[in-house]
Amino acid sequence: MPKIVVDVMPKAELLDPQGKAVAGALARLGNDTFSGVRVGKRFELTVDGPVDEAVLASVREIADELLSNSVIEDVVGITVVDGNGAHSAAASGALA
Amino acid sequence: MPKIVVDVMPKAELLDPQGKAVAGALARLGNDTFSGVRVGKRFELTVDGPVDEAVLASVREIADELLSNSVIEDVVGITVVDGNGAHSAAASGALA
C-alpha cells in the first residue's frame, strides 16, 4: 500500500533543544564533522487505495493543521512512497 | 552546506502510541483516507565540508548508536541533501 511521508522540522530561526543535545553529545564523543543538528518529525500515512490529487490535497491540509504547529514548525516535505519503498511522486523541498 | 538527513521510525511490529493518537484524531475529524499513521524522527546533520565515504560511514554509525534505539526503532533512510535542497547521493530504504 502506498505511503505518504510528511517531514516536519522546527523553524530555522528557532532554537532546537533536542538538536543541541545531540550536537553536544557528538562533541563530547569527539566527533567534530557536523556543525549543527536539528531534530524534527517524520509521519508515515498509509493510504487505502491509489494516491490521487485529492488525497495529496488532503495530506497537505492535514500536514499544515494537524501534524505541524505553524508557529514553531515548517512542513519541509511531502513525499509519496509506494509499497516497495521506491519514491515516486514528490512535493518535497521547502513548502512553507 | 550539505546536510545529511537520517530518518528513524518505530519498528513495524511495535505499537506506536503517537501514531495511534494522530490516526484517532483523523478519524474523529471524519477523515478515513488513511489506514495507519506512524510517527518517527527526522535528524538533519549539517556537514562542514564535502560529504565523502568517511563522513557517510560516520553518519551510519551515529544513526545506529546515538540517533536510534535499536530495540524499538529502525534507521529507515540516510539521505544526502545539498545546500540547495536537491537530493543527491542516497542510502535510503530499509537499512536495518
- Assign residue A23 the CATH number of its domain: 3.30.1280.10
Q: What is the pLDDT along chain B (96 residues), one digit of tens a residue?
A: 899 999 999 999 999 999 999 999 999 998 888 999 999 999 999 998 888 999 999 999 999 999 999 999 999 999 998 765 555 544 444 443
Q: How many other C-beta atoms can be found within 10 angstroms of the C-beta atom of residue B8?
A: 20
The pLDDT assigned to A48 comes to: 86
Of A9, A34, A40, the CB nearest to B46: A34
Which three cell numbers, joined as nine digits, stand for A35?
556543525
Structural domain that includes position A66: 3-92
Diameter of chain B by CA atoms?
A: 49
What pLDDT does residue B31 have?
Answer: 87
Q: Examine the predicted complex and report whether its ipTM is higher than 0.90.
A: no
Q: Cell numbers for B23, please give them.
A: 490516526
How many domains are there within chain A? 1
The closest CB to that of B93, out of A22, A46, A85, belongs to A85
pLDDT at A56: 93
Indicate yes or no: CB of B48 within 8 angstroms of CB of A34: yes
Contact criterion met (CB < 8 Å) for B42 and A41:
yes
